[in-house]
Amino acid sequence: SVDPKRDTPDVLEPYVGYFSDGILALTGTEPELRKVAAQYGAQFRYVGTGSTYTVDHTVNTFIVDRSGRLARVMPYGTPLPELLSYVLGLLH
């Protein structure tokens, strides 16, 4: 998460559990998050102040291979069959 103020480990753990036991939720300090985002070519920014702020962020899907390398960036709206085909190809 790029929103560590709201997305604490106590919030993230049950959230990702709704999707799969194999999903690991991560967050960090803002400087750490900016460093990682830059490495992936992603961006985020906080809009507004106080408890009503929002977070604008990149909506691409970043696919990381088994070696931890960025294998591909899929744009928002990529059809599920295309995403699935690519990921299955990496797994075989």
Q: Residue 48: left (phi > 0), alpha (psi -120 to 50), or beta? A: left
Number of H helices, E strands in the chain: 3, 4
Do the annotations mark residue 57 as ligand-binding? yes
Cα 71 from Cα 83, distance rounded (Å): 12
Binding residues for Cu cation, by number, are: 57
Give the residue ranges of the annotated binding site. Answer: 57
